Amino acid sequence: MMQEGSWAVSPQDCRGLGQGAALSPLESLSVIRASGADALGFFDRLFCSRISDIGEGAKLTGWADAQGRLIAAPRIVREATESFLLLIPRGLAPAFLKKIRLYVFRSKVKFEDVTESLRVSGLAGGGAARVLEAAGLSVPEKPWEASRSEGLTAVRVSDADPGRVPAFEAAFPRVIVLGEPGALSRLDAPKAPEGLWWLADISCGLPMVFAATSGRFLPQAVGLEKLGGVSFNKGCYPGQEVIARLQNHPERLKRQPEILCSHEPLPGAGGECPGGTVVESVSAGEAFYALIEKQR
């Protein structure tokens, strides 16, 4: 793996996904378990979106500091009635755990890193349904809905968008799959580099906060609110005043997310490029793609 927030794929990796399937072990992600009777209430008090309506599925959210800048942008997956799995970049996980435990106080919630026992992979392509069905799973119909079977959990996320990343020949569905290593081995699909998954994230404007960019971006500056990762009517959380003020006065928000395609090498997460500040980037042959926070 290259610098966290920056990956490489070959153009061949991007082809044939309209009908085929590719499985990418997401080795750059840690799996954090949050468990306890107060977990949902704790999330709602701390994170930018309402987590208490997660149901049996998953949620995209953000955790902001007092200045409204994102500390992290976890993907939260329900594991059981009082247990949830948070997907966080490995480089950010130690600081994330140290900081979030400071907020627990008397709340009945515990956080632990379970990456060694639970792994995460990204399954992409029009043939993903066949792969999941062979493993006893179905493809959830909508983003952030989940299906489960025999130790595996599949969460659908936004489809790849070839209109924004021409390296892809067609749109295709994408599913995050979590489980123990033995259970994940039931997924029978050609292996693909992790960068393919992150390039698809870029294509649909789905941001991630890495260690290099923690505390740097406002949620609106990376498009988190457009993806349902911010709530403006759920009550107080850190940074809410700043975030809500920007939403009520959008002329004050000078930075907006944009996808950049270049033929010059682009820096990794947090680096500056001619178009703005890089959120994440992937090189695909001679093309370089990035989700950037663009100065208007």
The residue ranges of the chain whose pLDDT is under 50 are: 1
Give the pLDDT of residue 296.
62
The overall pTM is greater than 0.85: yes
CATH number of the domain located at residue range(s) 1-296 in this protein: 3.30.1360.120
pLDDT 10s digits, 214-268: 999 999 999 999 999 999 888 899 999 999 888 777 666 777 899 999 999 999 8
What pLDDT is attached to residue 1?
43
Per-residue pLDDT, 252? 67
pLDDT, position 146 = 98
Domain residue ranges of the chain, discontinuous segments joined by +: 1-296
3-state secondary structure the chain: CCCCCEEEECHHHHCCCCCCCEEEECCCEEEEEEECCCHHHHHHHHCCCCCCCCCCCEEECCEECCCCCEEECCEEEEEECCEEEEEEECCCHHHHHHHHHCCCCCCCCEEEECCCCCEEEEEECCCHHHHHHHCCCCCCCCCCCEEEECCEEEEEEEEECCCCCCCCCCCEEEEEEEECHHHHCCCCCCECCHHHHHHHHHHCCCCCCCHHHCCCCCHHHHCCHHHCCCCCCCCCCCCHHHHHHHHHCHHHCCEEEEEEEECCCCCCCCCEECCEEEEEEEEECCEEEEEEEEEC
- The pLDDT assigned to 295 comes to 72
